[in-house]
Amino acid sequence: MKAKNNARSLIPLSALLCANAWATDPQSIKIAEGLSFTPTLEVSERYDDNFREVNTHTESSWITRISPTFALGAETQKVAYRVAYKADSDIFEESTKDNNTDHYLDADARFNFDSRNRLKLSAGYQKIEETATMDQRIENDKYTVSHAGGTYTYGANSARGQIELGGDYAQLRFQNGMHLNDDKERDTTALVSTFYYRLSPRTRALVEGRYTDYDYVSNTRLNSEKLALLGGAEWEATAKTSGSIKIGAERKTYDTSGINSASGSLWEVGAKWKPRTYSTFDIKTRQALIEGDDGASSIKQTTGSVGWEHYWATRFSTEISYQRVEEEYQDITRNDRINSYGVGFKYKMRRWMDVSMNYRHAKDDSTESEQSYTRNIYMLSFAFSL
């Protein structure tokens, strides 16, 4: 099996699917005072010429996706709650054994105790089946991800200084037979502390510290801790720009003495530039150590992306995007270079209906030739709301 990191394996397809962000204006059904129910639906038909992301013996198929979402929310001046469920059902015309339905359940709550004290809580559960695999004789990756966490903020929105304290606990579990992927199961505990200092009404400097503990269920040799320290700034939306920049360093140490510690630069940069009200450029770049795969203890991943969305008319827009991912595997000789780009258009036919067409191309040039692949996706989708 082509053992992929679950977050990384979705890069080409997620870039395509996320491009179809809702442009409709969903209407809610009022159930009671302050309580509303919002259903939405997306239906798409796509042609994927290499849905397993393999170098040889590629498989292609038309794939129908049906994605309903149901959200229940309640809000007052000081408290807000939201629970949402989404299902992604994929139907493969040429490979019915790969038909699957992914489930996403999320809940969050926001509490404004007073002008200085705020709390956000969130929890989620995902059940996913992933079709990308090298050895097609083995079943697809089937796994669940569950998490719970929160962020406490002290300091008024207009105050000179603010402090945020956050934490999250997540579990990754696989449901494959024959103990397949058992070595990837882990519990992750993350803590984050950020201090903000306001430089101007729309700009804040920041210092952030992060601690992450990885506790593997069976593959205990990969148990580790990661520390990171970053500094930077963020600026709120002005007439043309908004964004944030965080630059620092991180170090990952392992409980076992047989694996060398890993360290390096860490950065997260994102900015949106609107030269016109109807034209937006979105630029992002990130470098960080992520969990290892295929025998690597960890992977240094560097990503960069740029996108341009332009509204030619009130109802018609186009989007162009490019993304590059570089991955350096630690402890083994392997480097991957993934380039993907896409084009698409979106037309708002009605307030409650959008139609869009997209094309995405992705190519992975790996020093391990059997891990390289080329992938093209063509998609037509419809988004509906009340």
Q: How far does CA 361 lie from the centroid of its chain? A: 19
Q: What average pLDDT does the segment 276-294 reach?
A: 94
| Mean pLDDT of the region 144-170 | 97
Amino acid at site 352: W
State pLDDT tens for residues 113-137. 999 999 999 999 999 998 866 655 5
Q: Which of 91, 97, 96 is nearest to 45 (CA)?
A: 91
Residue 255's beta-bridge partner residues?
none
Tens-place pLDDT, residues 74-88: 999 899 999 999 999
Rounded to the nearest angstrom, the gap between the alpha carbon of residue 262 and the centroid of all alpha carbons in its chain is 24
Both tokens assigned to 118: 């705020």
Query: What is the pLDDT at residue 237?
Result: 74
Reference 18, options 339, 364, 383; nearest CA is 383
Kind of pairing between the strands at 279-291 and 262-276: antiparallel
Query: Is it true that domain 6-385 has CATH number 3.30.9?
Result: no
Q: Is the distance from CB of 82 to CB of 71 less than 8 angstroms? A: yes
What is the pTM assigned to this prediction? Answer: 0.90
b/e 71-98 (16+ beta carbons within 10 angstroms → b)? bbbbeeeeebbbebebebebbbeeeeeb
Give the pLDDT confidence score for residue 15 in this predicted structure. Answer: 42
Question: Could you give the CA distance from residue 325 to residue 303 in angstroms, rounded to a whole number?
Answer: 4
Pairing of strands 353-366, 335-350: antiparallel
Domain map of the chain by residue range?
6-385
Q: What is the pLDDT of residues 139-150, one digit of tens each?
A: 888 999 999 999
C-beta atoms surrounding 68 within 10 Å = 15
With 0-12 / 13-18 / 19 or more C-beta atoms within 10 angstroms meaning exposed / middle / buried, residue 354 is buried
Alpha-carbon dihedral sign for residues 222, 225, 229, 235? positive
Residues 6 or more apart whose CB falls under 8 angstroms from that of 352 comprise 24, 25, 26, 27, 384, 385, 386
Nearest Cα to 327, choosing from 13, 56, 4?
4
166-176 residue pLDDT tens: 999 999 999 98
The mean pLDDT value of the chain amounts to 91
